[in-house]
Structure 1
Amino acid sequence: MGMEMAIVLDNGIPVEKAYVRIGKLEENNKSLTIYVDTYYDHQSFLDGKNLLSRIPYNFSANVSDDAKNYRKQGYEFMKTLGEYADAIDVFEEGQLA
């Protein structure tokens, strides 16, 4: 899973259909760090192109027995952040919501 959204790079260049996804996550007790990778578009990711940026975010994970997996919690956390609030979910082939 990932998300598609319009962004503006640090150098001012707009990217209309950037593809963002959690590329890596690290657990430390109840704290999670997700690393959000940004690609020019979804096809660039599928083609193995270099990412445009990687941004770390920290949040407290739900560790109860019935909690969602950490990756799903990470995407839900991202949607609470203003820069990802309007992002559109993109599912990989065979992946369910």
Structure 2
Amino acid sequence: MADELVIGTIVGVEEHLGARAPSLLLTVDLGTYGTHETVLSTGGYEAQELKGTQILCRRDDDGAAVVVAHSHGKGLVLLRPDQATEPGTVVS
């Protein structure tokens, strides 16, 4: 399996205590690919605003999920679908 982009739904968010920089520990539902934990630099996002949000994730060969975001002058910008999408949907 090659790396692929999939839609995930954030189902859990908590502060990542002990991290070097302010960050959040996200639990992301990737549908048939399962639930994965990943770390996100806060980048101006509050934990409560992220729960339930759909985001774009990159799955690597080991099945690990990484949140796809863009660094902007005003902070981190998450890439998200415009409409509700089934978790695990592959983006081509």
TM range (shorter): 0.3 to 0.5
TM-score by length of 2: 0.33
Larger Rg belongs to: 1
Higher relative contact order (CA 8 A, sep 6+): 2
